[in-house]
């Protein structure tokens, strides 16, 4: 039987460990995810074989990159797509969607037939739906970003009713100042912090000369999703495999708890060769250095 003295001693050791290495207690490290945009060409040709290959390389979760248009998941119904995931031991917690302001008539966006998109997402067990990108026509002035924030709130309300969290994925254009203010700050302040969380893309934050850790400290708990995307050290600052560039992921991961991290996904927009080779390098670095 454990004595009170040994219990207190164990508790003290645990508390000391938390002080020394808080990153060890920050989030569930079971899942290493891949954003499927990285293998988009393979997915367009043969999604079933591609998902099998992704799992074989070692990923056990994915983030979808397409739904908008035919309102299917890579050409499959929700049930068929879920079966393919299950057959390969893959979990899918999140998927990217479009706002749709410049996509009149296209269904499955936040501004057109969003209810069905949310119903389909709930049916396959998604936890997060993400606004993936704003086209140039959807950006505009800070006042327009306020409208986008309002649109995100409305979409987030629909998600909430289905038990899903809406998020917004950044690039670097949200950090082009207008009158000394960043559109990203406008999105953060206009959107409800509970209805709209953020998916932080580390490459684009770095490209925009922003400090992810400072943003975590300013908005704690609002970043449940991350994109691990590295930047090379060449003048053109191109995408590269995780661990092969200049982004200090080890330090960033120390602040996972402050950010509110739940899941992360490797993404590499452009690969020097076969994307399979690049995602294999990334996951090897992650397993060795980050989780």
90 vs 17: which has the higher pLDDT: 90
44 vs 2: which has the higher pLDDT: 44
Domain boundaries, the chain: 29-289
- Count of CB atoms within 10 A of residue 38's CB? 27
Mean pLDDT across 238-247: 98
Mean pLDDT across 246-268: 98
CA distance 258 to 220: 5
**Average pLDDT of the residues of the chain:** 92
CA distance 228 to 132: 15
- Tell me which CATH homologous superfamily contains domain 29-289: Divalent-metal-dependent TIM barrel enzymes (3.20.20.150)
> Is the pLDDT assigned to residue 11 strictly greater than 80?
no
Q: Which helix (H) or strand (E) holds 81?
A: helix 78-87
**Taking the model in full, what pTM does it have?**
0.90
Mean pLDDT across 17-31: 55
Mean pLDDT across 245-262: 97
pLDDT of residue 26: 54
pLDDT of residue 68: 82
pLDDT of residue 1: 38
């Amino acid at each position: 039987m454990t004595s009170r003295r040994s219990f207190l001693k164990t508790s003290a050791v645990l508390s000391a460990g938390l002080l020394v290495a808080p990153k060890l207690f920050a989030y569930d490290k079971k899942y290493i995810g891949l954003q499927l945009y990285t293998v988009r060409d393979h997915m367009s040709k043969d999604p079933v074989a591609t998902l099998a290959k992704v799992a074989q390389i070692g990923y056990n979760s994915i983030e979808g990159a397409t739904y908008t248009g035919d309102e299917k998941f890579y050409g499959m119904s929700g049930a068929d797509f879920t079966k393919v995931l299950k057959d390969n031991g893959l979990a899918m917690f999140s998927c990217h969607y479009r706002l749709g302001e410049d996509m009149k008539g296209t269904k499955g966006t936040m501004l057109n037939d969003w209810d069905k998109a949310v119903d389909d997402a709930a049916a396959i067990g998604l936890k997060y739906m993400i606004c993936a990108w704003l086209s140039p026509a959807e950006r505009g002035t800070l006042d327009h970003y306020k409208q986008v924030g309002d649109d995100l709130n409305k979409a987030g309300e629909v998600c909430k009713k289905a038990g899903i969290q809406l998020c917004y994925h950044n690039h670097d254009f949200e950090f082009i100042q207008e009158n000394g203010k960043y559109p990203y700050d406008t999105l953060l302040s206009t959107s409800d912090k509970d209805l709209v969380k953020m998916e932080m893309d580390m490459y684009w934050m770095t490209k925009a000369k922003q400090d992810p850790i400072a943003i975590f400290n300013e908005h704690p708990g609002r970043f449940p999703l991350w994109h691990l995307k590295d930047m090379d050290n060449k003048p053109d600052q191109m995408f590269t495999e995780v661990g092969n560039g200049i982004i200090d992921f080890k330090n960033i991961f120390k602040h996972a708890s402050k950010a509110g991290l739940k899941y992360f996904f490797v993404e590499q927009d452009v690969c020097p060769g076969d994307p399979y080779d690049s995602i294999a390098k990334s996951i090897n670095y992650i397993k060795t250095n980050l989780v």
